[in-house]
């Protein structure tokens, strides 16, 4: 286990993100703070909802095309960025094993506890597999990952959609610098579609996503001594056609003042004022190919789920 990110690092980053986000206009927070234990359970529920198609669409592609992906990549090392519990990794690892190339797995995630548990399970499932887990942030530690072998970097789940265009350019440029000749990128992206379909995926009828959205306020209350009243913030999901992204927001239902004790910060919300908690960018196939090319990557192959709802792209750096 390589540890590039300590609890103290995570705490300092959280304090900076929350201070910056609550004092900017309009107010915003990065989506990473949804995912405490409760938030992770809620998101797992979301992935099983009828309205939420991305997880099952990406899984369909992996189930039907992992063998082809492994053959084209010719990789002996799988590097998964934001690996979490490594559920999707298993499909790719099995395919690489069947292809006769699999040697090692490098999962990267901010949670050491989750990585340890996942790594132990994978060693049991693949006794010959070398697992070199890394605790770190894909925004900061790509260049510190093990460089052995021919690597396929997997960035799945549409997570790249949580980055705005400038953030994506920085991420892809840093990834390009961290990659060696022969390495490749497997990227999962949600595609532009009927706005009603998109909004429903982030505003389910059962209200699970609404509770997931408000969970960030529970996290700030617990971790930073804030006194948000989560039930007084309404869940909002909308399609921003100009930016081609879904926005999730929390709308204050009344004038309220929030104190964040750990930051010695007082924040006022006017009635109707919104706090943006997530963007989820959607892509067109040609737009994505052009964006990757502008950032140094050549698209080698693409695979889409039924209805062209989700896409996996295999790309290689061109220099």
Tell me the domain boundaries of the chain: 17-34+196-281, 54-191+283-317
The answer, yes or no, to whether residue 260 has pLDDT greater than 80, is yes
**pLDDT top residue among 94 and 2:** 94
The answer, yes or no, to whether residue 49 has pLDDT greater than 90, is yes
CATH of domain 54-191+283-317: 3.40.50.150
**pLDDT top residue among 197 and 123:** 197
The answer, yes or no, to whether residue 204 has pLDDT greater than 80, is yes
For the segment 96-112, the average pLDDT, to the nearest whole number, is 90
- The closest of 212, 103, 85 to 152, measured between CA atoms, is 103
Confidence grade of residue 303 (pLDDT, cut at 50, 70, 90): very high
β-pairing verdict for 77-81 and 104-109 = parallel
Round to whole Å and give the CA distance between 248 and 3. 32
Round to whole Å and give the CA distance between 187 and 184. 10
3-class DSSP assignment, residue 236: strand
Burial class (CB in 10 A: 0-12, 13-18, 19+), 42: buried
Residues 140-186: tens digit of each pLDDT: 889 889 999 999 999 999 999 999 999 999 999 999 999 999 999 99
Residue 61 pLDDT = 98
Residues 12-28: tens digit of each pLDDT: 999 999 999 999 999 99
Confidence grade of residue 198 (pLDDT, cut at 50, 70, 90): very high
Q: State the helix-helix crossing angle for 87-98 and 112-125, rounded to 10 degrees.
A: 30
Angle ∠(75,288,237) on CA atoms, nearest 5 = 115
For the segment 65-82, the average pLDDT, to the nearest whole number, is 96
Confidence grade of residue 319 (pLDDT, cut at 50, 70, 90): low
Residue 212 pLDDT = 96
The answer, yes or no, to whether residue 217 has pLDDT greater than 70, is yes
The answer, yes or no, to whether residue 292 has pLDDT greater than 80, is yes
The answer, yes or no, to whether residue 235 has pLDDT greater than 80, is yes
| Percent of the chain at pLDDT exceeding 70 | 100
**Which letter does DSSP use for residue 192 in this model?**
P
Among 128-137, 243-252, 295-304, the range scoring the smallest mean pLDDT is: 128-137
């Amino acid at each position: 286990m390589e540890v590039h990110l300590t609890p103290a690092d995570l705490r300092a980053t959280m304090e900076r993100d929350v201070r910056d986000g609550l004092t900017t206009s309009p107010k915003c927070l990065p989506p990473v703070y949804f995912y405490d234990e409760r938030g992770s359970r809620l998101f797992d529920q979301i992935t099983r909802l009828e309205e939420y198609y991305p997880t099952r669409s990406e899984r369909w592609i992996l189930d039907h095309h992992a063998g082809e992906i492994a053959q084209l990549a010719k990789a002996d090392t799988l590097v998964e960025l934001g690996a979490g519990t490594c559920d999707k990794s298993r499909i790719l690892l099995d395919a690489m094993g069947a292809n006769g190339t699999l040697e090692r797995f490098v999962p990267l995630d901010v949670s050491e506890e989750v990585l340890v548990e996942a790594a132990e399970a994978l060693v049991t499932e693949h006794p010959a597999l070398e697992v070199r887990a890394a605790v770190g942030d894909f925004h900061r530690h790509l260049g510190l990952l093990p460089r052995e072998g021919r690597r396929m970097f997997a960035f799945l789940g549409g997570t790249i959609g949580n980055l705005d265009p400038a953030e994506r350019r920085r991420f892809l440029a840093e990834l390009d610098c961290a990659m060696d000749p022969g390495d490749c990128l497997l990227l999962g992206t949600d595609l532009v579609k009927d706005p009603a379909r998109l909004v429903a995926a982030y505003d389910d009828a059962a209200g699970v996503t609404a509770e997931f959205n408000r969970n960030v306020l529970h996290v700030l209350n617990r971790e930073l001594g804030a006194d948000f009243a989560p039930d007084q913030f309404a869940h909002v999901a909308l399609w921003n056609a100009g930016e081609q992204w879904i926005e999730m927001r929390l709308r204050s239902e009344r004038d309220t003042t929030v104190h964040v004790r750990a930051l010695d910060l007082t924040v006022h919300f006017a009635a109707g004022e919104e706090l943006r908690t997530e963007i989820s960018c959607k892509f067109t196939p040609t737009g994505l190919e052009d964006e990757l090319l502008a950032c140094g990557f050549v698209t080698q192959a693409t695979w889409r789920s039924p209805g062209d709802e989700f896409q996996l792209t295999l790309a290689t750096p061109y220099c």
